[in-house]
Amino acid sequence: MINKTVANVDEAISGVDSNMVLMFGGFGLSGIAENCINALSKKNIKNLTCISNNAGVDDFGLGLLLKKRQIKKMISSYVGENDEFERQMLSGELEVELIPQGTLAERCRAGGAGIPAFFTPAGYGTEVQGKKEVRVFNKKKYIMEHALNADFAFVKAWKGDTLGNLIYKGTARNFNPLMAMAGKITVAEVEHLVPAGELDLNQIHTPGIFVQRIFKGSFYEKRIENRTITKA
Amino acid sequence: MINKTVANVDEAISGVDSNMVLMFGGFGLSGIAENCINALSKKNIKNLTCISNNAGVDDFGLGLLLKKRQIKKMISSYVGENDEFERQMLSGELEVELIPQGTLAERCRAGGAGIPAFFTPAGYGTEVQGKKEVRVFNKKKYIMEHALNADFAFVKAWKGDTLGNLIYKGTARNFNPLMAMAGKITVAEVEHLVPAGELDLNQIHTPGIFVQRIFKGSFYEKRIENRTITKA
Amino acid sequence: MALTKNEIAKRIAQELVNNTYVNLGIGIPTLVANHVPSDINVEFQSENGILGMGPFPIEGKEDADLINAGKQTITSLPGAVLFDSAVSFSMIRGNHIHLSVLGAMQVAENGDIANWKIPGKMVKGMGGAMDLVTSSNNIIVAMTHTNRQGQSKLLKRCTLPITGVSCVKKIVTDLAVIEVTSKGFKLTEVAPGVSEDEIINSTDADLTIDKNLKTMVL
Amino acid sequence: MALTKNEIAKRIAQELVNNTYVNLGIGIPTLVANHVPSDINVEFQSENGILGMGPFPIEGKEDADLINAGKQTITSLPGAVLFDSAVSFSMIRGNHIHLSVLGAMQVAENGDIANWKIPGKMVKGMGGAMDLVTSSNNIIVAMTHTNRQGQSKLLKRCTLPITGVSCVKKIVTDLAVIEVTSKGFKLTEVAPGVSEDEIINSTDADLTIDKNLKTMVL
């Protein structure tokens, strides 16, 4: 049986180099590949293009790579709540491409699905439109968007098996299944790694074919960005 | 709580009329909406455009509608194994649009996802290309395909809840989740109907938002088209 | 007197239609969930991947793996369902979501909305707003009538970069309910104790006064 | 002597690469699964929605809800996964499937393939074949060298409507293994007991003879 297991995070990120395009799953701090991000922030690589819905916070998530100036360009939909990010962007040190969240999701899926381009209404008539092709279908205006792919995609799942099959938990699923499809090499870190055959084949969110490397993360801080409670 | 339950198949198919565009989930005879198809074949409607990967067999599945000449046009990827179909097609009584299976799946998904058109390599340079727009991305040639939608989509799931959330079984999933997205009115028939809240929210294949009507089918023949066994 | 944020949310809750799916944006819109009339069934979507969103958890039950688009910890209701971001925006772009309630920095009389960027000052990104405003058939804006500098947020033309073109159908502010029509803004309701003149003075665009102008009932 | 269908499948099984994902078409290609070398790990996809397809079930265990693209009852192996048709063809179009083995009615020397239609006679449809042939980096055709009328299925140009353009990389027939190169067909292996001349006579296109021409080892 095919076995995608790697021994540890270092093996998981081996081959990642400067100037590469990297994708990171997660929404805010939820469902991010904490182990991979930490290890990448310690690696001597720079000029990265990072595709991620958000950019972490100052001392967690992609904020760690920002602080070390490893990122040349961010492609995201929302980058608030990160002072260092704002500073680098306003000073021009960091290149930022902001795109609508649904467009980001669909572009990653398209990249994984062999669809080079598609039309979406999101962004029509706004700065996002830029020089993109505009087209009318059924009297509504759409812009053409291209697929996104990455040299490496880093995703985080709740459970995974040695074949790379993944199950996410809660809303930590978000962009992970889409970026898993779009990475030339997709690295999955999981909380629970089980032998192939232990997961119910009818309940797998990401088929293992999309995953090249898998390992059990050694820690999960799972920081909560905005703790809100109902008073009992 | 929103309740999509209808009492029976007659209520489920109410409003279906002549000249409408209908989608039917299923691959071969696996995962087809047996109860709805049977009831539609008894209804006085004709000139239907049916979108379905296959066209059933002579006395089962969409073959029932064909036999009664209710179908004006079929949009499918594979229509073998059906003598009546072949006869009507060759005599010109039935209009047939054959499209690649992946394109069919993607066009239905696009219809449900608000993507009016996309590019695919499938069919480039073949009869399928026809007058479709050709475009080169990364030195590869693609053709533009449009979204498909339907007045009614008929899907069949294994389990469903009163909110319309669906779980399929085995390879009976196939086109069902995609057509569920693309129907103006999506009718789901299920083997097991449970109250909302009984299904695991992390294991649902079709979110109930895509389903307008749901009911428990009163019978499932589940005919096997090609019984193959390994001799013990 | 001008409405509180909660009162704006309460007024918007009157717009909810039975058996529909609704997306609530960050800020005032989120509060709408607290005011759903008892005879109305709606399901709330959060675009990061849940339908059937419930209230905030009780203390100790917060789960980092269960948040809304505002990154707040939430709970799920019976019948809820989880999905990825591509499926989530399929619901949105595909018009399966019936109503979106969003905050805004500016709304123009043609229905343009600006709520994602102040050039040179604030660039947080549009998140899912551009998908939401181009997709739902019903876009309601919840906002204060004027900004902190006292400037009208209802304008002839947006001066900030827009989020979407001609998409807003209705605006509920702390002063009024205003419909966006083919002829521009139409004032349909005033907040209790707020005069027509105060609304006119706070609005940098023309207003048609509805012949059935009412005072809001909260 | 010409190979049997099973022998064609056995020869194709030698093309399997360790740790890869493979799609087998209907007919001879399906038989390849019976000849996987013991030191090779491959996962078989069936485009109707399963990866990790296993052998046919034993009698009494057939399940109408578990079939392959040929509508045959199948089983699943440990580690298998189920998915919908859009995800399935994402695997195919997205080049996640490494090898596709298909049957064909005709293959041209430029790699064109025809396997879905005989105008006026047989119109069953292309199924997933058009997606498969434009997508996988490695397309191998399994077929008899000639049709029932004795006509060559290897041609300068396909006369039947094609399924895909310049996509076939290799052809394994009952007589030979032939590679499709930028200069046309190259004969690399002959079936045991089959002469070069017999292959040349059965091929309606030019053939380059590989300087290392071998007899197939089965």
Residues A7-64: tens digit of each pLDDT = 999 999 999 999 999 999 999 999 999 999 999 999 999 999 999 999 999 999 999 9
A118 contacts in chain D (CB < 8 Å): none
List phi, psi (to 5°) of B179. Answer: -70, -30
| Average pLDDT value for residue range C59-81 | 96
- What are the residue numbers of the active site of D? 47
| C-contacting chains (≥3 CB pairs under 8 Å) | A, B
Runs of H (alpha helix) within chain A: 9-12, 34-41, 63-67, 83-90, 101-113, 176-182
Query: What pLDDT tens digit does each residue of chain D (218 aa) get?
Result: 899 999 999 999 999 999 999 999 988 999 999 999 999 999 999 999 999 999 999 999 999 999 999 999 999 999 999 999 999 999 999 999 999 999 999 999 999 999 999 988 878 899 999 999 998 789 999 999 999 999 999 999 999 999 999 999 999 999 999 999 999 999 999 999 999 999 999 999 999 999 999 999 99
Task: Tell me the shortest Cα–Cα distance from C157 to chain A, in angstroms.
Answer: 14
Given a contact cutoff of 8 angstroms between Cβ atoms, the answer to whether D202 and D176 are in contact is no
CA distances from A167 to A180, B81, B198, C35, C117 (A): 12, 38, 20, 35, 36
Inter-chain residue contact C96 with B109, CB threshold 8 Å: no
CB contact (8 A) between residue B162 and residue C51: no
Q: Place A149 in a pLDDT band, splitting at 50, 70 and 90.
A: very high
C193/chain A closest Cα distance in angstroms: 32
- pLDDT tens digit sequence for C93-120: 999 999 999 999 999 999 999 999 998 8
3-state secondary structure of B130: coil
Subunit partners of chain B (3 or more CB pairs within 8 A): A, C, D
- Give the global pTM: 0.97
Q: Fill in the DSSP letter of residue A163.
A: T
Min Cα–Cα distance to chain C from B119, Å: 18
Whose tokens are 């103006």? That residue is B184
Tell me the CA distances in angstroms from A176 to A23, A81, B132, D154, one per residue in order. Answer: 9, 21, 34, 45
- How many CB atoms are located within 10 Å of the residue C151 CB? 12
Measured between beta carbons, the chain C residues lying within 8 angstroms of B3 are 41
Dihedral of CA D174/D179/D185/D191: which sign?
negative
Cβ contacts of A129 within 8 Å, gap of 6 or more: A123, A143
Q: What are phi and psi of D46, to 5 degrees?
A: -120, 130
Are D176 and D187 in contact, with CB atoms under 8 Å apart?
yes
For the stretch D48-71, what's the b/e string if a residue is b when 16 or more beta carbons lie within 10 angstroms of its beta carbon? bbbbbbbebbeeeebbbbbbbbbb
- Per-residue pLDDT at D124: 87
Average pLDDT of chain B, as a whole number: 96
What is the count of residue pairs from A and D with beta carbons less than 8 Å apart?
65
Rounded percentage of chain C residues whose pLDDT exceeds 70 = 100
Chain B CA closest to residue C97: B209
Please state the ipTM of this predicted complex: 0.97
Cα–Cα distances (Å) from A186 to A166, A182, A219, C162, in that order, read 12, 8, 20, 36
pLDDT in the model for residue C124: 87
Tokens of D60: 């009494």
Q: Do A232 and C58 touch (CB under 8 A)?
A: yes
Our answer on whether B and C touch (3+ beta-carbon pairs < 8 Å) is yes
* Nearest chain C Cα distance for residue A41, angstroms: 23
D41:A163 CB<8 A? no
Establish if B142 touches chain D: CB-CB under 8 angstroms.
no
Is the CB of residue A7 less than 8 Å away from at least one CB of chain D? no
Q: Which of B163, B190, B166, B194 is nearest to B178 (CA)?
A: B166
Decide if D78 and A196 are in contact by the 8 Å CB cutoff: yes
State the pLDDT at residue D120. 81
In this structure, chain A runs to a length of 232
**Contact present, A and D (at least 3 Cβ pairs less than 8 Å):** yes
Q: Which residues of A touch B124 (CB under 8 A)?
A: none
**B228 contacts D73 by C-beta, under 8 angstroms:** yes
Q: Would you give the DSSP letter of residue B172?
A: G
Our CA-based measurement puts residue C25 at a distance from the nearest CA of chain B, in whole angstroms, of 19
Coil, helix or strand for C218? coil
Q: Which stretches of C25-111 are assigned E, i.e. beta strand?
A: 42-46, 50-54, 75-82, 99-102, 106-108
Exposure letters B114-143 (e unless 16+ CB within 10 A, then b): bbbbbbbbbbbbbebeeebeeeeeeeeebb
Q: D111 in the Ramachandran plot: left (φ > 0), alpha (ψ -120 to 50) or beta?
A: left
* Arithmetic mean of pLDDT, A114-132: 98
CA distance B205 to C84: 11
Query: Which helix (H) or strand (E) segment is A134 a member of?
Result: strand A134-137
Closest Cβ–Cβ partner in A27, A79, A106 for C48: A27
- Does A164 score more than 90 pLDDT? yes
Q: Tell me whether chains C and D touch (3+ CB pairs under 8 A).
A: no
pLDDT of residue D109: 98
User: Coil, helix or strand for A36?
Assistant: helix
Q: Is the pLDDT of residue A82 over 90?
A: no
What pLDDT, on a 0 to 100 scale, did the predictor assign at position C135? Answer: 87
Chain C interface test: which of B5, B108, B163 (most C C-beta within 10 Å): B163
The DSSP-derived string for B2-30 is: ---B-SSHHHHTTT--TT-EEEE--BTTB
Percentage of chain C beyond pLDDT 90 is 94
Taking the C-alpha atoms of residue D124 and residue A172, their distance in angstroms, rounded to an integer, is 44
CA B227 – CA B167 distance, rounded (Å): 25
- Please say if the pLDDT value at position A232 is more than 80: no
Cβ atoms of D9 and D218 closer than 8 Å:
no
Q: What is the pLDDT of residues A180-195, one digit of tens each?
A: 999 999 999 999 999 9
Q: How far apart are CA D53 and CA A45, in angstroms?
A: 41
Residue B65 near residue B32 (C-beta atoms within 8 A): no
Q: Supply the pLDDT for residue D113.
A: 98
> Whole-angstrom Cα distance, residue C216 to residue C175?
10
- Residue of A106, A119, A169, A171 for testing the chain B interface, max B β-carbons within 10 Å: A119
> What single letter denotes the amino acid at residue B25?
G
- Could you say which DSSP state residue D115 is in? -
Residue to substitute from B219, B228, B231, interface D, most D β-carbons within 10 A:
B228
Q: What is the pLDDT of residue B201?
A: 98
The mean of the pLDDT values for chain C is 96
**Facing D90 at nearest CB: one of A1, A112, A204:** A112
The conformational region for residue B197 under phi > 0 = left, psi -120 to 50 = alpha, else beta, is left
Which residues of chain B fall below pLDDT 70?
none
Return the SS3 of D153: coil
Closest-CA distance of chain B to residue C96, Å: 7
Tokens at residue A168, please?
């996410």
Could you give the strand order of the β-sheet that contains D106-108, starting from the edge strand earlier in sequence? D113-114, D106-108, D154-155
CA-based nearest residue in chain D for residue B223: D64
What is the model's pLDDT at position A84?
87
B76 Cβ under 8 Å from any chain D Cβ: yes
- CA distances D83 to A106, B148, D128, Å, are 18, 21, 16
- Distance CA(A168)–CA(B203), nearest Å, equals 10
